Amino acid sequence: MGIEFLITSLVVVISPGPGALLTVAAGLSGGARAAAVTALGCTLGIVPHLLAAVTGLAALLHASATAFDVLRYVGVAYLLYMGWATWRSPAALQVRTDAPARSTGARIAEAMLVNLLNPKLSLFFLTFLPQFIAPGEAQPTARMAQLSLVFMAMTFVVFLGYGVFAARFRDQVLQRPSVLVWLRRGFAAAFVALGGKLALMQR
């Protein structure tokens, strides 16, 4: 495992995306623990893409424009839905003491779904990881799994950092109603923008 793989993976992971955005929102609304749970869910959402790459399903997405577009537009629809729901909810980033806390399972499921509906991850594992596997590798599948686990660990650490940083300023943010309004609008716009970017993404 070379430094090139670590640097390139880090650049990919720290690039803002729906998972990072969701983790920041969790940190602001639920604190560090909620951010950690969401970061874990986003990381677990990578597993199906890894399995798809190992079993060849990612190759199908790469070869079939229809299969790729179906998954892509489902992801676009979900991101647009998240933007719409965030915009409509006046309490999207507020903490209510009289409201039941979201369960760990619900947060993990939502975070996993965000990454599951991103076909770019499957193509990432199909086109990126093989570059770091030697042609004569005795166990290429095991090597891909090893590199993938490193990528997942980096994802969790970076997303956790995003979420904890957001949670650090949670009290200051929640005490300012006007800031909450603009944050809610900003998150909604960001989800819509990410959906648009995914819709225009080329294979």
- Tens digits of residue pLDDT in 96-151: 333 456 788 999 999 999 888 876 677 677 667 766 776 666 777 788 788 889 99
Residue type, 184: R
pTM (two decimals)? 0.69
Q: Give 163's Cβ-side CA count (13 Å radius).
A: 29
Q: Provide the strand spans (E) within 34-105.
A: none
SS3 label, residue 196: helix
pLDDT in tens, 153-172: 999 999 999 999 888 888 77
Site of tokens 């042609």:
135
Q: What is the pLDDT of residue 99?
A: 42
Residue ranges per structural domain of the chain = 3-199
What span, in angstroms and rounded, lies between the C-alpha atoms of 34 and 32? 5
Residue 92 and residue 29 in contact, taking contact as beta carbons nearer than 8 Å: yes
Residue 10 and residue 155 in contact, taking contact as beta carbons nearer than 8 Å: no
Residue 13 and residue 158 in contact, taking contact as beta carbons nearer than 8 Å: yes
Confidence of residue 33 (pLDDT cuts 50, 70, 90): very high
Residue 107 and residue 117 in contact, taking contact as beta carbons nearer than 8 Å: no
